[in-house]
Amino acid sequence: MDSSPTWWILGAGALGRLFAARLTTTLSLHLIGRHPAGAPLHYHALSSECSSVDVARTTLSALASKAHVRPSLVMLATKSYATLTAVEELAAHVAPQTPLLSLQNGFSIQPRLAELWAGPVLCASTTEAAYVEGDTGVVHAGKGTTWVGDLDNAWPTLARDCVYWLEKAGFSAYHDTAIVQRLWHKLAINAAINPLVARYRIRNGQLRDRPFRRMVDAVIDEIGSLLEEEGVVPPQAGWHTLVWEVIVATANNRASMLQDVLAGRSTERDAILGPLLAAAKRQRRYAPTLETLYHDTPS
């Protein structure tokens, strides 16, 4: 195993900062934002302890003059809708075979990256939770697990190598040979929760109340049958249990889509609901609840 590879993280938002703060202790790490930013990062751990972490924060143009720091892997930590542009910008600065690791939610950018990028494209599904605080802070809001794999299972050694470095940095991580299934399951959870809480501006737990409970169940019914028709294996406990367990576990949370709507930012609507509507179209089926959700959610 390479004793100290160089990784870049493209996107210095919540997840980018979280992974950077921990990975910088075990490998050579560059956190790339759109604008120059000074180190250190203020990292608020789950224990509420805050520490200053010296992370090499930079921009792609600043890295252009440093040919010796080419990465052996680039983690993509942009929002789904910003990822293609970010990767186009990245392409001028790295070897075409450089492996990418997509951290995006949904199931829209992953197949597109796999199609257009010449090198390996790994995908992660993570339940880690983080949010930014000011220009330099990141709060680790929830401990999770990160699964890594690729859509065709063509890069198992690379995926295991990646997991090794994530674990070494203190993350709970696993290689997943069925990452496609896991991404769809996470999408199902996000699709059943995020657009509704964003539309009604409520915390996740309020979905248990009337009239929202019926709305959630109707969305789950549509998602489950669309995904099964696409060949996605249903979760062992069923779609309803999968979603309701997350609602209970995150009852006090404001979902990221709600935070985006409240802050007037773009949402990941297309990455989360888009693939379901595309599945409905492929299957020539009407998905009225999902259609309505899509139209009621800002893009």
Ligand X SMILES: NC(=O)c1ccc[n+]([C@@H]2O[C@H](COP(=O)([O-])OP(=O)(O)OC[C@H]3O[C@@H](n4cnc5c(N)ncnc54)[C@H](OP(=O)(O)O)[C@@H]3O)[C@@H](O)[C@H]2O)c1
Residues belonging to the active site: 186
CB 120 within 8 A of CB 158: yes
Stretch that binds ligand X, among 6-14, 199-207, 208-216, 247-255 (CB under 6 A): 6-14
> In terms of CB distance, is 76 or 280 closer to ligand X?
76
Strands in 28-32's sheet, in edge-to-edge order, are 56-58, 28-32, 6-10, 73-76, 100-102, 121-126, 145-149, 172-175
Output the residue with the shortest Cβ distance to ligand X.
Answer: 13
Which residue of 22, 79, 140, 269 would you call a contact of ligand X, by CB under 6 A?
79
Which residue of 10, 31, 55, 158 would you call a contact of ligand X, by CB under 6 A?
10
> In terms of CB distance, is 106 or 120 closer to ligand X?
106
Tell me the CA distances in angstroms from 272 to 32, 157, 184, one per residue in order.
25, 29, 9
User: Does 130 help bind ligand X (rule: CB under 6 A)?
Assistant: yes
Stretch that binds ligand X, among 23-31, 125-133, 168-176, 221-229 (CB under 6 A): 125-133
Backbone angles phi, psi at 147, to 5 degrees: -105, 140
User: Does 15 help bind ligand X (rule: CB under 6 A)?
Assistant: yes
Which residue of 75, 86, 94, 197 would you call a contact of ligand X, by CB under 6 A?
86
Q: Which of 99, 116, 118 is nearest to 161 (CA)?
A: 99
User: Does 148 help bind ligand X (rule: CB under 6 A)?
Assistant: no
Which residue of 25, 51, 52, 85 would you call a contact of ligand X, by CB under 6 A?
85
Which residue of 7, 9, 12, 55 would you call a contact of ligand X, by CB under 6 A?
12
- DSSP string covering 187-251: HHHHHHHHHHHHHHT--GGGGGSTTHHHHHHHHHHHHHHHHHHTTPPPPTT-HHHHHHHHHHHTT
> In terms of CB distance, is 18 or 232 closer to ligand X?
18
User: Does 129 help bind ligand X (rule: CB under 6 A)?
Assistant: yes
What is the smallest separation between the CB atom of 35 and ligand X, expressed in angstroms? 6
Task: List binders of ligand X among 213-272 (CB under 6 A).
Answer: 256, 268
Number of Cβ atoms within 10 Å of the Cβ of 116: 12
Which residue of 56, 91, 132, 278 would you call a contact of ligand X, by CB under 6 A?
132
User: Does 140 help bind ligand X (rule: CB under 6 A)?
Assistant: no
User: Does 94 help bind ligand X (rule: CB under 6 A)?
Assistant: no
CB 39 within 8 A of CB 54: yes
User: Does 63 help bind ligand X (rule: CB under 6 A)?
Assistant: no
Instruction: Determine whether 80 is exposed, middle or buried from the number of CB atoms within 10 Å of its CB (0-12, 13-18, 19+).
Output: buried
Which residues here bind ligand X, judged by CB under 6 A? 10-16, 32-34, 77-80, 82, 85-86, 89, 103-105, 126, 128-130, 132, 256, 268
